[in-house]
Structure 1
Amino acid sequence: MSGGLAAPERPVTDVGKDLLTVGIEEEFLLVDPATGAATPAIEAVLAEVPDELRGQVQRELQTSQIEIGTPPGLDLGGLRHSLGLLRTGLAEAADAAGVRVLAVGTGPVAGPVPPVVDNPRFHRMIERYRLLVPGPGVNGMHVHVGVADQEIAVQVLNHLRPWLPLLQAATANSPFYEGVDTGYASWRSVLWERWPSVAPTPWLESHAQYERSIQELIDSGMMLDEGMLYWYARLSSRYPTVEIRIGDVCPSLDDTILLAALARALVDTALTDIHAGRPALQVGHHLLTAAHWRAAHDGLEGLAVDPLGGGLRPAWHLMRRLFDRLRPALERHGDLALVTSLLGRMHTRGTGAARQRAVYARRGELADVLDDLAQQTRG
């Protein structure tokens, strides 16, 4: 709900010349190592974060959450290195504070509801929205891709709309909630969608319409401010970026880097299409809503809504088709070999949700799931 990203070093839209920067924000759950329940330990953990990382670690909405943000860059290897340092530093700070940090969409284990961080804006949110907040916290992943021209960035949003459910499916990492299997791959998505401004990005004609829409939602009382625009893709209110914000936080660095590469390739492909005068695929709001629900329910292990013709297809079939669509952009950024490898690994091992269920199936113990998540989070 907040951002810790530094300004992009070289946001560009000139297709064919410059590459696109990418940066990542990840939110994590703080849990009691004995019970596995979410614990209000944000201040204790922040006190243990090394000085050199403090500028990239911050509070989130609830005292059981903590967020990191990478500096933006062009090279995925550098991005992975930054994330590795942040995740390791955060895990060590949590150890020193007597808690655990988990890369998981929401709390697998039941427990008392942690309070909201003492922040005037957060208190206004509680006053306005009341029972939407209670729970252990919902933890997402946001990918920022540098696009400086706001008019073009709005066109990019139109081009992204049909493909974001597949990225959501790939991030699914919260099948367990309060001690039970929810039947969903991403229960975080279900909890998150209770907020009234969470929705697929609408079709937009211009940046002026984008700005008018935000103001109308604020005037209606549905949002307190622009920061509460929780569309699945939006223009960042702080940085010259397109922000894709549909996924659970990923359990491992491999998953995170894969999703960042796919997100950047989607934006790059959109810019190429805009430059060539190719229109965005128009998909009805109702079908996009269905596609996002299906992504939350099935992840990549089940079925997905086909944006090209409707109907259900195996999710991995649609992911392979998307990969083929993104291949030129992946090649242009030097990411093709890495994404091919990481996507193959995810196909073999499953999404985070599938891996959690596989661990649980061995002994029927959520403690095993938490142990595995803690290990993956550290990298």
Structure 2
Amino acid sequence: MRTVGVEEELLLVDPDSGEPKSLSAAVLARATQDDPGQDVFQKELFGQMLEFATHPQADMADLGAEIVRCRKEASRLAGEIGCAVAALATHPMPVTPSLTVHERYQWMAGQYGMTTQDQLVCGCHAHVSVESDEEGVAVLDRIRPWLPVLLALSANSPFWQGRDTDYVSYRGRVVRRWPQAGPNELFGSAERYHRLVRDMVASGVVLDRGMLYFDARLSASYPTVEIRVADVCLRADTTVLIATLARALVETAAREWRSGRPPLDHSVSLLRLAAWQAARSGLDEDLLDPVSLRPRPAAEVLYALLEHTGEALTDSGDAAGVEEGVATLLRRGNGAHEQRLLMERTGSLRDVVTACVRHTQD
């Protein structure tokens, strides 16, 4: 059974006003004080962000329980220094990001200018184990057209600097301001993948291989495929759904590779359109069908994803849970939908943030 680990980025906010708080250093100091050897919580690009990483898990119930524990622990640590955590992919209110003091982040600020300053966005990264770089690259080639569907499911960033963006995942647009972000052409082999990585680093535009923000990549640190396309999800059960589907996509792609089935040869230009459509309307309107890249109702595309990964989901015992999770999301809506409902009901972005703090803790 392939293992899955999850990294989630959370926002630090004032529990009453909802305003962002640049207190990640204090939260991390408190975490280290409690456990000097802790490696769960990490700093991020800005002081208003806190990241945690789960351990690799083979059982999705265990992964879900660990995500909930990490969120609750992050909430406890933040509460002890007078702030709270919110699983929001962008902060709805006006915010001036505060760059974390670190040589790497200072390099990024100097290299990318305003693009760096605009990146106060929170994602969810799923690491799925692979047996080799060759298998991993074969997986990357075959999961490309399905990644926008994961973005649509996770979409949780409709507001930006105090305004409704008319997108469900504005984070999905912001991260593509990096010159090295987005979908890739087919690699064909691990050798070609690593050659591209070496050439990109040698260009001097990026600092190292960890700064290649592809929608999915080989991890620089672990024997995994790292799927980076999703927003951080408002609710932990959505994160588990994304992780479960990520594993099923990886397993399905690996089986196709072993059987000699070639990947779909979609152009990067069309894959960018599919990602744009997912970020624009998510589950509310059409998505681009991953096979035909033509418009199709979002619900039909979701069930096409379940059919595509059905054998892998059945073999891992996850089919029923994923079907229930998809049905719940179609009924309840993703995080962006919930945020907009909160805004309609309260008329206050502050109230949106404080309600999302409660959802994160729950």
Instruction: Work out the CA distance in 2 between the residues paired with 1:202 and 1:97.
Output: 46
1:194 aligns with 2:177: yes
Secondary structure class of the residue paired with 1:174: coil
2:337 corresponding residue in structure 1: 354
Is the contact between residue 157 and residue 201 of structure 1 (CA under 8 Å) also seen in structure 2? no
1:119 corresponding residue in structure 2: 102
Q: Deviations over 1:52-78 (max 9, x none)?
A: 893211101111111000000100111
Return 216-225 or 314-323, whichever deviates more.
216-225
CA RMSD of aligned residues (A): 1.4
Instruction: Work out the CA distance in 1 between the residues paired with 2:37 and 2:94.
Output: 31
TM-score normalised over the length of structure 2: 0.96
Q: Deviations over 1:260-315 (max 9, x none)?
A: 00000000111111121111111111110000011111111121112222321111
Alignment of 1:275-314 (within 5 A): 275-314=258-297
* Counterpart residue identity of residue 59, structure 1: K
Instruction: Work out the CA distance in 2 between the residues paired with 1:187 and 1:53.
Output: 36
1:29 aligns with 2:11: yes
1:77 corresponding residue in structure 2: 61
Alignment of 1:1-16 (within 5 A): none
1:42 corresponding residue in structure 2: 24
* Counterpart residue identity of residue 77, structure 1: A
Is the contact between residue 159 and residue 165 of structure 2 (CA under 8 Å) also seen in structure 1? yes
Instruction: Work out the CA distance in 1 between the residues paired with 2:247 and 2:313.
Output: 8
Instruction: Work out the CA distance in 2 between the residues paired with 1:73 and 1:136.
Output: 30
* Counterpart residue identity of residue 253, structure 1: A
* Counterpart residue identity of residue 149, structure 1: S
Matching residue within 66, 70, 74 for 1:90? 74
Is the contact between residue 39 and residue 63 of structure 1 (CA under 8 Å) also seen in structure 2? yes
Alignment of 1:233-244 (within 5 A): 233-244=216-227
Matching residue within 31, 36, 41 for 1:57? 41
Return 312-321 or 61-70, whichever deviates more.
312-321
* Counterpart residue identity of residue 104, structure 2: R
Instruction: Work out the CA distance in 2 between the residues paired with 1:253 and 1:268.
Output: 23
Is the contact between residue 53 and residue 86 of structure 1 (CA under 8 Å) also seen in structure 2? no
1:332 corresponding residue in structure 2: 315
* Counterpart residue identity of residue 23, structure 1: G
Is the contact between residue 216 and residue 227 of structure 2 (CA under 8 Å) also seen in structure 1? yes
Q: Deviations over 1:301-348 (max 9, x none)?
A: 121112222321111211111111111111111111211111111111
Q: Deviations over 1:70-99 (max 9, x none)?
A: 000100111111111110010111111111
Secondary structure class of the residue paired with 2:39: helix
- Quote the offset at 1:363 in angstroms: 2.5
2:124 corresponding residue in structure 1: 141
Instruction: Work out the CA distance in 2 between the residues paired with 1:35 and 1:314.
Output: 38
Is the contact between residue 18 and residue 354 of structure 2 (CA under 8 Å) also seen in structure 1? no
Secondary structure class of the residue paired with 1:133: helix
Instruction: Work out the CA distance in 2 between the residues paired with 1:126 and 1:176.
Output: 24
Instruction: Work out the CA distance in 2 between the residues paired with 1:33 and 1:53.
Output: 28
Matching residue within 175, 193, 206 for 1:223? 206
Is the contact between residue 87 and residue 233 of structure 2 (CA under 8 Å) also seen in structure 1? yes
- Quote the offset at 1:230 in angstroms: 0.6
1:232 aligns with 2:215: yes
User: Which structure 2 residue ranges, 5 or more long, are not aligned?
Assistant: none
Quote the sequence identity (%).
Answer: 39
1:106 corresponding residue in structure 2: 90
Alignment of 1:254-273 (within 5 A): 254-273=237-256
- Quote the offset at 1:51 in angstroms: 2.2
Secondary structure class of the residue paired with 1:138: coil
Secondary structure class of the residue paired with 1:28: strand
Is the contact between residue 119 and residue 175 of structure 2 (CA under 8 Å) also seen in structure 1? no
Instruction: Work out the CA distance in 2 between the residues paired with 1:272 and 1:368.
Output: 47
Matching residue within 159, 168, 171 for 2:151? 168
How many residues align? The count is 360
